Structure 1
Amino acid sequence: MALDLSRIIKAYDVRGLVPEELSPEVARAIGTAFARVVVLPEATGDTRPAAVVGRDMRDSGPGLVDAFAAGLTAEGVDVLRIGLCSTDGLYHASGVLGLPGAMFTASHNPAEYNGIKLCRTGARPVGDATGLAEIRAVAQGLLDGSAETSTGLAGGTVTDKEMLGEYAAFLRDLVDLAGIRPLKVVIDAGNGMAGLTVPAVLGTDAGLPQLPLDLVPMYFELDGTFPNHEANPLEPANLLDLQTAVVANGADIGLAFDGDADRCFVVDEKGVPVSPSAITALVGLREVEKEKAAGRTPTIIHNLITSRAVPDLLSTAGAQVVRTRVGHSYIKAEMASNDAVFGGEHSAHYYFRDFFFADTGMLAALHVLAALGTQPHPLSEVAEMYEPYVSSGEINSRVPDAAAATTRVLDAYRLAYPGIDVDTLDGVTVSNWDGHPQWWFNLRASNTEPLLRLNVEAADQDIMEKVRDDVLSLVRGQATGSAEGEETP
């Protein structure tokens, strides 16, 4: 019996164990389906249909890429392989080449996993509602034997192209660091793709001029077994080495990237993590000023888990602020439909109109370095301006019935606070932000696991802790355990 692809093709991407779930046979079927659903329909005029494919450093990557490419070429699609790259490197290639793309990565997942992130021409997202469900259905038919294995078109070709230098130059053109004060920067690549991209963008490996940066590398060796720590900086334990190194080296800032280097986390000179909400506000304000200087009214996107400081600061600065649900496909759709200049998520995904409305941790890092290096104060003082409130971070509880647990919480709060503000944009958000004391929380179910994710924010630490503990006690009244720090899909 063929694998049920709903196990590995979820709302946003493909991710599974290799080879039990994501085998070369499955990769080829997905490649064929990608050709039929996305690549061939997007081909125009006399131009041969083509797609660009990249991969991260996992050992299973080359074989899966070859199988995926075979599925594409059998449908008459030419394949351009760009080899090792970050996910935003693949988006760059899709954007500048005008081709659909596929990135083979399992992001922060352990070594035994791999996956595929798909995009349309110009790095436009492929999610469940924008083609991924259809790709899953076609690939399932191929594996089950109920769909034809080829369309009968002439076979496509496979060629290789190096694009790291173009990627680095593209990002350098968006943020000029040449005139900043000298900064010492510790960077933890987590043995992921930042070990390749950081020396090219922030260093001189791509032949670009030296920047006023003293780089202190950590775990730059590409190793898909992740021998030092998981490549998931959202988990606090994985930031400890960076925090220690920043203080030990007397550095101005620390940066940590995840496995496919599309997310960037920031640590100040004291070794204290700077929240992604603060980074969203900091970068957002830079983009707002740039838009206003060009005579345009800026629009900024943020998801509903980011701090209330984000819409407060950005709207005060003159931006139109759009709140959206969690998930990159939703953010990207809102970015494009609103022609937004920037968008940010609590999980450290940052999106830029100048980068095809796609997410790039490296461009966010450049903005942070520019903001820090064009003024004299340490990062801890700069960050204080963007972090006026106290948040819990994301806390995950494993529950047998997420809907029942959510109902328990809602019933209790509606009883205790008649008329309390509740919205259901993504899970449930309960807010007393217009009252006293100020607090809000969001509770939403995972798309892939029996988890409820809780985020709480309040005007002070005591109130945040009280709301957090009250909600968790209600959620876990019938819980079987908890797990903290897992990444939002």
Structure 2
Amino acid sequence: MPHTPDLSSLVKAYDVRGVVPDDWGPDTAEALGAAFAEVAVLPGAPDGPLSARPSVVIGRDMRESGPSLVDAFAAGVAARGVDVVRIGLCSTDGLYHASGVLDVPGAMFTASHNPAVYNGIKMCRAGARPVGEATGLAEIRSLAQHYLADGLPEPADEPGTVSDRQMLPDYARFLRSLVDLSGIRPLKVVVDAGNGMAGLTAPAVLGTQAGQPELPLTVVPLYFELDGSFPNHEANPLDPENLRDLQAAVVEHGADLGLAFDGDADRCFVVDETGRPVSPSAITALVGLREVARELGEGRTPTVIHNLITSRAVPDLLSAAGATTVRTRVGHSFIKAQMAEHEAVFGGEHSAHYYFRDFFFADTGMLAAMHVLAALGTATTPFGDPIPLSALAEAYEPYSASGEINSRVADVPAARARVVQAYVTEQGAGPVEVDELDGLTVVHWDEAPRWWFNLRASNTEPLLRLNVEAEDEDIMVKLRDDVLGLVRQER
């Protein structure tokens, strides 16, 4: 009797992700496709279509396992009487664009920044609304598990059709309509695609390969060849090691900035003209201020979402500019929910995910990159001289931050308790504000020395994640080391 895979570890809180073929393969993909159609697409499903011929759009990244998984998933969907539109190679935000403009549910086959042996699925409802554990993914997992154990249901009387459609030109035009780069000063930008999907989307959006007019940009490409084996470096710019080539190329070419994308190109990291990374918090502030100014100019009251790990500079600067800011838990499902609830114009995370109301409340690294290019390309001194990105970003990075530091501990509750005892119960550092929106956040900001930290437990590993920010480097380093000492005391 063939082995039935256990989907409890494959279908996670926000997506499907695992090793191919060890964890899953075409049979599992077909079962997931059938379950996705039943739960998120067909009439009777929440927000399901009223028409007799519902549709789904499917895209994939450059991983070698993608085509066979897509074909199997599409077969599972079509067997339930749902039409399938395959858009082929695309970025995750390209799939969101297709779901948004076609107003149909979607599935993106990608494992983002994970190694080559992985693949996964990000699912969404019509209009690019996310499908997570609390919004249908748990039901999809349960139904797919049933199909794998007991067999797929009989095909619908009228199976769906499977067709192919090219959406890249439409995607490029759509993004160009949201940010006008035609009037900026000439810029040289190095783009590191990491052999991921930005190798397809960057030439289409920033160049002329999708039939768009030429922009005043000189793009220096790094690793644009689509290769799911990632031969040059991991497609994970969150790891500083994966930015080394970009940093060196920016300096070598005398570029104005560098952009690094992850494997499915939904995240974008920025490097200034000196090769120094610009923090995602600074990018959140920069892009947020542009969107706030546009909203105010059009007579609307802007709201911006940020997660609790972003710098204090983000709500401070945006509030001063006239925005309402909303602080959320870490995780795209939380920020997307808040984006929709508040009809927020923009949202940013410390992990370099950037969300836009005008992009279906979804995240798109390319649109964030375009805002950075627009801001830099129009920034001048009072004397008309261009302002470099290092100087522009400095205004948005007034404090010193540790970045996220992971500690593997044997007893997570005990480690957390030691920190609570030292910083909350004893209050040795003076009065603090404490909240537990997501982990433990301790704030000492109303008087000098100003600092805050957040300590969060991993949902899947015995890890504690620490983020620290303070008004200067010395305070940050001392606080970071003191808290880490408490966390790691048992080791």
The TM-score, its normalising length taken from structure 1, stands at 0.96
The 1-side partners of 2:157 and 2:447 are apart by 65
Instruction: State yes or no: 1:136 paired with 2:152.
Output: no
- What SS does the corresponding residue of 2:8 show, helix, strand or coil? helix
The 2-side partners of 1:47 and 1:434 are apart by 60
One-letter amino acid of the structure 1 residue matched with residue 409 of structure 2:
V
Instruction: State yes or no: 1:328 paired with 2:332.
Output: yes
The 2-side partners of 1:384 and 1:271 are apart by 14
Contact 2:457 2:464 in 1 (8 A): yes
Deviation, structure 1 residue 153: 4.3
- Aligned partner of 1:116 in structure 2 is 121
Instruction: State yes or no: 1:396 paired with 2:406.
Output: yes
Deviation, structure 1 residue 43: 3.8
- What SS does the corresponding residue of 1:7 show, helix, strand or coil? coil
- Please point out which of 183, 208, 211 is paired with 1:179: 183
- Aligned partner of 1:192 in structure 2 is 196
Q: Which moved more, 1:432-441 or 1:111-120?
A: 432-441
Kindly report which structure 2 residues correspond to 1:44-55, keeping only aligned pairs within 5 A, or say none.
Answer: 44-55=49-60
Deviation, structure 1 residue 422: 1.2
Instruction: State yes or no: 1:422 paired with 2:427.
Output: no
Unpaired runs of 5+ in structure 2? 380-385
The 1-side partners of 2:75 and 2:155 are apart by 13
- Aligned partner of 1:32 in structure 2 is 34
Aligned-pair Cα RMSD in Å: 1.2
Please list the CA deviations of residues 384-442 of structure 1 after superposition, one character each: whole Å capped at 9, or x if unmatched.
00000000011111122322221221122122246522111111111111232111111
The 1-side partners of 2:239 and 2:211 are apart by 34
- Aligned partner of 2:351 in structure 1 is 347
The 2-side partners of 1:355 and 1:128 are apart by 23
The 1-side partners of 2:152 and 2:67 are apart by 26
The 2-side partners of 1:401 and 1:90 are apart by 41
Contact 2:41 2:49 in 1 (8 A): no
- What SS does the corresponding residue of 1:6 show, helix, strand or coil? coil
Deviation, structure 1 residue 55: 0.2
- Aligned partner of 1:356 in structure 2 is 360
Please list the CA deviations of residues 282-337 of structure 1 after superposition, one character each: whole Å capped at 9, or x if unmatched.
00000000000110000000000000000000000000000000111111100000
Please list the CA deviations of residues 113-159 of structure 1 after superposition, one character each: whole Å capped at 9, or x if unmatched.
000000010000111111111111111112222x7534644211110
- What SS does the corresponding residue of 1:187 show, helix, strand or coil? strand
Contact 1:104 1:117 in 2 (8 A): yes
The TM-score, its normalising length taken from structure 2, stands at 0.96
Aligned residue pairs total 478
- Aligned partner of 1:453 in structure 2 is 465
Kindly report which structure 2 residues correspond to 1:256-271, keeping only aligned pairs within 5 A, or say none.
Answer: 256-271=260-275
One-letter amino acid of the structure 1 residue matched with residue 451 of structure 2:
W
Query: What stretches of structure 1 move > 6 A for 4+ residues in a row?
Result: none
**Among the aligned pairs, what percent are the same residue?**
72
The 1-side partners of 2:442 and 2:7 are apart by 36
- Aligned partner of 1:467 in structure 2 is 479
- Aligned partner of 1:19 in structure 2 is 21
Instruction: State yes or no: 1:302 paired with 2:306.
Output: yes
- Please point out which of 406, 413, 418 is paired with 1:408: 418
The 1-side partners of 2:253 and 2:443 are apart by 42
Contact 1:15 1:22 in 2 (8 A): no
Q: Which moved more, 1:401-410 or 1:420-429?
A: 401-410
- What SS does the corresponding residue of 1:5 show, helix, strand or coil? coil
The 2-side partners of 1:403 and 1:47 are apart by 53
- What SS does the corresponding residue of 1:478 show, helix, strand or coil? coil
Kindly report which structure 2 residues correspond to 1:61-460, keeping only aligned pairs within 5 A, or say none.
Answer: 61-145=66-150, 149-150=153-154, 152-375=156-379, 376-414=386-424, 415=426, 416-417=428-429, 419-460=431-472
Contact 1:26 1:143 in 2 (8 A): yes
- Aligned partner of 1:8 in structure 2 is 10
Deviation, structure 1 residue 448: 2.7
Contact 1:86 1:262 in 2 (8 A): yes
Please list the CA deviations of residues 444-465 of structure 1 after superposition, one character each: whole Å capped at 9, or x if unmatched.
1122322211110000001111
